[in-house]
């Protein structure tokens, strides 16, 4: 049985992002990843079952390798339906998975959030070994530039107030705290 609902609504596809520098590669989950899905599922499971990786996003926790395989297949389907683009962040030196960056189109955000206006959302998480090394501070501006070059005008992120590091990354990248999102989180926005 497939780990997703057969009633997935597809939207106009956004453009995936491909980045490479001396430290990392960032690219969307793709069909080639699924041919080696056992090894990648192990990496995804290790990343998304680590309590420090998902400290502020506990709903992202994966409890088994089987859930990680379902996450990979779901990510590929979401990519092809234009629902969410899940990008894998890999260490250039070791080729190990060190993080994930999701791009969530406004139509999908509208399904989950109650806002007056729906920009494109970004969400990211890193391995504990990579946290505090300014990696996202280097990557996020490049992601923003790529998204703006592809026509995205407004970006947003929702951040747990206790996640000071993520707030700093967003502010360094040009985001501004707009308002309280809920009792734990704030909404940040960036306009072109």
Cα dist from 5 to 17, 60, 68, 72, 148, whole Å: 26, 18, 16, 15, 32
Residues 89, 126 contacting (CB under 8 angstroms): yes
pLDDT at 99: 95
Cα dist from 132 to 49, 71, 128, whole Å: 19, 26, 8
Segments in the chain below pLDDT 50: 1-12
Report pLDDT digits (tens) over 58-104: 999 999 999 999 999 999 999 888 889 999 999 998 999 999 999 99
DSSP 8-state code for residue 58: G
pLDDT at 148: 92
Q: Alpha-carbon distance 70 to 57, whole Å?
A: 18
CA torsion angle 175 180 181 185 (round to 10):
80
What crossing angle do the helices spanning 65-81 and 37-49 adopt, rounded to 10°?
A: 100
Characterize the bridge pairing of strands 154-160 and 120-126.
parallel
Cα dist from 86 to 74, 115, 123, 169, 173, whole Å: 10, 23, 9, 19, 20
**Which strands form 19-20's sheet, in the order they lie side by side?**
19-20, 24-28, 85-91, 97-104, 120-126, 154-160, 185-191, 176-180
Global pTM reads 0.88
Place of tokens 């699924």: 34
* Among the listed residues 75, 73, 71, 70, the one whose alpha carbon sits nearest the alpha carbon of residue 85: 75
Q: Alpha-carbon distance 156 to 88, whole Å?
A: 20
């Amino acid at each position: 049985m497939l780990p997703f609902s057969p009633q997935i609504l597809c939207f106009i596809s956004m453009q995936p992002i491909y980045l490479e520098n001396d430290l990392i590669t960032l690219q969307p989950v793709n069909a080639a990843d699924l041919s080696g899905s056992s090894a990648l599922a192990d990496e995804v499971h290790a990343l998304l079952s680590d309590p420090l990786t998902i400290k502020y996003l506990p709903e992202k926790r994966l409890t088994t390798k089987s859930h990680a395989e379902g996450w990979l297949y779901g990510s590929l389907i979401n990519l092809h339906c234009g629902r969410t683009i899940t990008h894998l962040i890999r260490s250039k030196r070791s080729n190990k998975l060190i993080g994930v960056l999701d791009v969530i189109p406004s139509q999908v955000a509208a399904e989950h959030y109650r806002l007056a206006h729906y920009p494109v959302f970004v969400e990211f998480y890193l391995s504990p070994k990579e946290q505090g090394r300014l990696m996202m501070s280097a990557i996020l501006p490049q992601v923003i530039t790529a998204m703006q070059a592809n026509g995205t005008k407004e970006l947003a992120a929702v951040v747990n107030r206790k996640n000071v590091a993520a707030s700093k990354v967003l502010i360094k990248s040009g985001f501004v705290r707009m308002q309280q999102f809920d009792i734990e989180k704030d909404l940040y926005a960036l306009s072109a």
